[in-house]
Structure 1
């Protein structure tokens, strides 16, 4: 039986892969042992074709390889020290990298911090392309530029809250804007305001109460009970418009990540209390963010979390430059905010005054078949509209509102002039003032 098959049968039940698991797998892989001996000896041939076939794939990176405690490591330009994975573990490592159903770019960012093998990018691309769950739920792009919120100054200063449905069950997503940290909770038997508050209290006790929470205008999130809860905790609520999730972009991104992570990992009971869900969440928290090369775990806790991807133990220690990393993340978000503001484009629409009648676009069929009166103009292009008929108050973005042209008042009726006298061809006698009245003084 091939070494790769033996290793797969031996180690495929391990949820967390560490250096010891990789070492045992490498000891059962003759090609890996040849690589260890070659790297230790350093006697590479002058030409690639002179090497045995199993070592030719490493010839171009031979100067980047070294051996530590029996394992080959790969380091490029003083970057991350990455473990070279034996052939028998590569499929499982690729599956663990895709545990959260993230895209190829996210998988590669995570892999480039921890593992290496020849053809890594192609293998991960093949694994992602073969995932039926990801192919069936590919994300779509937002149709309009987001309204930018000033970046936060410290972790969990600005958070997002959203409730979403997946396979008939309700879940709560809670995320931090600065670090990207994500929490997910199941809400059995309905997402009531009371259940949401109970879960938020746990998050506040763990991470501190935020200054601002962004959410949508769902009834369970804007109820009187929920409003009083946020007020007691001194939290400002930023609402997004109805049928316009782009106005709460960070919450939508968190919900997409949570859904992508849970699909294929939750069981028939839809519970989050399983090894697969926990491993997927750890993988998400350990994946580096764009443009910063640091993961939510590294930003929020100063270190990586031990998960299903093998890494050297040094990565689990708190980084001495943690504070500097957070400040760089703040500056990176500020630069991104400024860049997006400078390059923002789109149609500029006039403001709508309260009391104006408007048409409201129906997002189901994209027709303007509803009307109402603007009750209140809020910030971020949001308007509170009282709909005709039902009288229901609904929050809408300016994009979905069209002011109704006010009819011009009718001019007052002109007084009727006497009809002109009928014309006659007969000469008319001219009346003249008598001369004896010339010296008369009134």
Structure 2
């Protein structure tokens, strides 16, 4: 307008008078462009999880509404699928989230009728929750919830299969384990202190299973030449003496077990009781069988065959047909009477 006026005439103060005329025109002011945006005011980051939550509704999606609840500290996201976005339904779903994570200190929402109703105000007042309502028609003031709604909608549009509930569940699992762009940490780690197990974690090698498999292979390789040995208390054994004898085998007696594979041994003629691994203990020499009259071939221990209190009745024994001099009778060793000739060796003359 000012350029057009200067093309025909000019006087001092022409530009300012035209500007004042335009400002006084109500129609011109109603159609003016929006001014430059004001500097951004960021919400303070809470120092603990679930201290301030932002809520908003998304939808309709497939004929249903989605209640989005975002934690300002961890960026954790809860999504509830509802058929109607009334105050009663909103309170019911908020109770479900609060039962899991506890009551927040502050709840931020827009000025929707279902969020500013008397019923909602009474619910928040009875639970001592401060209700902060952002400026009307300014979604950026509740930007955390608005961004969550946008991310949710885009994810649901990309999924082709499954019901709405299935799509929401898949989105939530993927979102909660993905490091957030602001915090750099997955929401599940900030809120729950741990990572959620996903299908990608199944592909990661299990360190415990790997160690157990290696130990089983080592045991199998070692035990192919090993022999299981056990000893009882007071068994006569040979144990290594790592003292003055330099690890030589020395007669000892088992005093008791000192572990799953070790024993307490007392050396013969010595008051020492030492602990030895089963690899350093072996069975002692077998005791010779007693010989003489009145001792049968099968008798090994006098305590094992106590004498009966009453004499047994005599039993007719079959006649002994063995010839005199038989080793089964007199105990002498019979040798062969064959004449042995020395071997003929080759001689080189």
Q: Give the TM-score range, shorter chain.
A: 0.3 to 0.5
Relative to the length of structure 1, the TM-score reads: 0.36
Larger Rg: 2
Relative to the length of structure 2, the TM-score reads: 0.45
Q: Name the structure, 1 or 2, with higher relative contact order (CA <8 Å, separation 6+).
A: 1
